[in-house]
Amino acid sequence: MSTIVVSDLAYAHPGGDLLFSQVDFRVPAGRHAALVGANGVGKSTLLKVLAGVLPADDGDARATGQLAYMAQDVGLTAVGPGGEELTVRDLLLSVAPPALAAVGLRMAIAELDTTDPDPERSTAAGMRFAEEIEAWSAGGGYQLEGAWDAACRRVLGLGLGDVGERAAATLSGGERKGLVLDLLLAGDAPVLLLDEPDNFLDLPAKHRLEDAIRASRKTILFVSHDRELLARASDTVVTLEGSGAWVHGSSYASYPEAREARNERLGDALKRWHQEERRLFRYFKDLKVKARVSEVMARKAGVAEARWERFVAAGPPPPPVVDHAIKVRLQGGDSARRVLDLRAVQIPDLTEPISDEIHAGERIGLIGPNGSGKTHLLRLLAQAAGDAAAEASSGPVATLDGGADGGERVRHHGQLVVGPRVVPGVFTQTNVRPELADGSLLEVVMRRLPDRSKAMASLARYGLVDAHDRTHGTLSGGQKARLEILCLELEGCNLLLLDEPTDNLDIDSCEALEGALEGFEGAIVAVSHDRAFLRRLDRFLLLAHDGSVRPYPDPGRAIEALSAGVGSR
């Protein structure tokens, strides 16, 4: 039977900083374990160690039986190492068994080389190509292509022959991830490691993922920050801490209570240890005083002191886990009552004309199936608000991959009017903000808050002070999200445009962000598939695949429509 066993595992960053140590847990055959923990504690790293992508510094991490691994950023890279555009076939090949993936890569290179104008080189390439085709066939490559075709038809509605050479970037993030998940869950590997499998998925796809995990006989270890998916898909929860891990042997639905009870027990045990240490210390000290007049007492004092030393040397029990929730202070500010006015705004080939007004204080959700244009609409709002703010301040304002910062702009028809005194702030789903990549985290923050001590205090509130000298590219997805929210806070925005803000945040930080948004003095427009987050919003616009835009006045009806697949093809 296929199990996952982690024993005394430790890993340190290449720079030498210890990420985690003394990690022990076991996932029995057929169990579906959620791996949770604070941002930056090493959840993705642990999966990479198990998958053989990274080496462990100490201990052992292994799975019995064939293992398949899906990285957190699978399908996000649009180009290969040589600058070539990656296709859907390349995406599928990236999650093939390693030996077969290597053959497929060599086969593709050899096929390309057959077009070399030099006859001698093209002939040699043809011979290599024939050899790789034979190896592909012998290794089960054509059977794998049959599985690829079936997955493409289930997820995209078209076969491999129709979409295989299409650029992977033309698929939505949810379509790319859904394709890989469908392939792995239906595949032969009895052990799956899934890093944030629900990111980018729309709500019906999340429901299908929950059902597929529950029904699977595979042994699955997965990372997710979606509280409802965790509750519905897991039957075990592994909590990774800086030192060690602990296992809750049931669903995440009962995990918060179990964690609270465990922390109480740890706190009680630590308190009892300190009480006992003081008792033993005072006892041998009292005996030493009596030993001045009694040789018998001197021997007893020596025995008591040795007992105290052994007790102290054994050390105290572990303390309760420290709360890692960030402390968000998004305040907002004054603007005109009408923040954005959409007058028959249409994105060609995506939406029908949209007419709506967004007012100060509103919390609006942009919802709908993958590929319906939600992020494009959010980018357009950011583009218009950024242009207006740049014109008012005579300088560039960061937008969502386009707009005033010079990125690719969103084409549209109609008129989008931005109210006066609107200061936009944008949270990107992939945390790609070029201006955050320049310099260390402390330097990034000090460009917005020049006082060094205040900048360090801000980093501390977001759990980033230990990473103050690191660069953006070295951070985990959750740490990048925290930094982006901190920058929004410091920039004093009164219009927040948020693209999947909770995707990479740990659960405590999600709840801290939701609480901060409750008191935010400004307007919020958010794209999200996180049901817990959506319930905090006021009204919704559902973008459908047919281009229509349907309003929903409350979270209940909006989530019900999403779950029913309203707006899907």
Report pLDDT digits (tens) over 374-407: 989 999 999 999 888 877 665 444 444 433 344 5
- Put simply, whether the predicted model's pTM sits higher than 0.75 gets the answer yes
Between CA 363 and CA 480 the distance in angstroms is 24
CB atoms within 10 A of CB 316: 15
- Helices 173-186 & 203-215 angle (0-180, nearest 10): 10
Is pLDDT of 340 > 80? Answer: yes
User: Beta-carbon neighbour count of residue 453 at 10 Å?
Assistant: 8
For a pLDDT cut of 90, what percent of the chain falls above it? 50
Please determine, for residue 130, whether its predicted confidence score (pLDDT) is greater than 50: yes
Q: Is 461 in contact with 432 (CB distance < 8 Å)?
A: no
79 DSSP assignment? B
Least confident of 27-41, 303-317, 342-356, 390-404: 390-404
Terminal Cα-to-Cα distance of the chain (whole angstroms): 40
Q: Give helix then strand counts, H and E, for the chain.
A: 18, 18
Predicted confidence band of residue 88 (pLDDT cuts 50, 70, 90): very high
pLDDT-based confidence at residue 211 (cuts at 50, 70, 90): very high
What would the pLDDT profile of 433-454 be if each residue is shown by its tens digit?
Answer: 777 878 899 999 999 999 999 9
Nearest to 364 by CA among 538, 556, 499, 496: 538
Over 70: is that where the pLDDT of 79 sits? no
Say whether pLDDT at 237 is over 70: yes
User: What is the rounded CA–CA span in Å between residue 342 and residue 353?
Assistant: 9
Q: Angle between the 203-215 and 555-563 helix axes, to the nearest 10 degrees?
A: 60
If you average pLDDT over residues 470-483, what whole number do you get? 85
Please determine, for residue 281, whether its predicted confidence score (pLDDT) is greater than 70.
yes
**For position 82, what pLDDT does the model report?**
58
Dist. CA 501–CA 506, nearest whole Å:
11
Mean pLDDT to the nearest integer, 61-72? 92
What is the mean pLDDT of the segment spanning 191-197? 95
Q: What is the pLDDT of residue 527?
A: 94
* pLDDT at residue number 401: 42
Distance, in Å, from the CA atom of 394 to the CA atom of 372, rounded to the nearest integer, reads 34
Whole-angstrom distance, CA of residue 76 vs CA of residue 94: 12
pLDDT band at residue 473, thresholds of 50, 70 and 90?
confident
pLDDT for residue 242: 67
Topology of domain 338-563 in CATH is Rossmann fold (3.40.50)
pLDDT for 300 equals 87
Residue 432, pLDDT score: 66
Q: What number of other Cβ atoms are within 10 A of residue 447's Cβ?
A: 15
pLDDT above 80: residue 303? yes
416 CB-near residues (< 8 Å, 6+ apart): 340, 341, 342, 343, 345, 380, 381, 384
For residue 81, what pLDDT band results from cuts at 50, 70 and 90? low
pLDDT band for position 354 (cuts 50, 70, 90) = very high
* DSSP three-state, residue 347: coil
Res 77 pLDDT > 80: no
Average pLDDT over residues 519-523: 88
- Average confidence score pLDDT of the chain: 88
Residue 394: exposed, middle, or buried by beta-carbon count in 10 A (0-12, 13-18, 19+)?
A: exposed
Whose CA is closest to 86, among 183, 166, 182? 166
Q: In this prediction, what percent of the chain has a pLDDT beyond 70?
A: 93
What pLDDT does 455 receive? 93
